Amino acid sequence: MLVHLLKSKIHRAQVTGGSLDYEGSLTIAEDLMEAAGLHPYEKILCSNMANGARFETYVIKGPRGSGQIVLNGAAAHCGKAGDRLTIMSFTEVDAAQAADWHPTVIVLGENNRIVARK
């Protein structure tokens, strides 16, 4: 049996911009993607701490070190610059592995810099 578990999470990511004209996705700075174990085009679930919106989209790579978190396409309607997001990805693991599973979690602070890893 497979169990659907949290694979990775970026907590308190601050939205830096939005682009309605883009076809969809969430831009995340490449270094933050790597720290969280996210892959380009990976499906993610986002929750906006400011307005309660929850939405699914996929990740695209932003410039390394830029701190970019950009809502693109329809997702741009789910928040605005300054809002804080929780960005989550999930995986399926064998039930035997689930007991010892630990997701990769990073917490962001000012300018979307990593302040904690869990």
Q: Are 67 and 114 in contact (CB under 8 A)?
A: no
Which amino acid is residue 29, in one-letter code?
A: A
E strand map for 1-118 = 2-14, 17-19, 25-29, 43-48, 54-62, 69-72, 84-94, 104-108, 114-117
8, 25, 41, 89: the catalytic one is 25
Q: Which residues lie below 8 Å from residue 97, measured CB to CB, with a gap of 6+?
A: none
Instruction: Indicate if 25 belongs to the active site.
Output: yes
- Active-site option among 41, 58, 66, 89: 58
Annotation marks residue 58 as catalytic: yes
Active-site amino acid positions: 25, 58
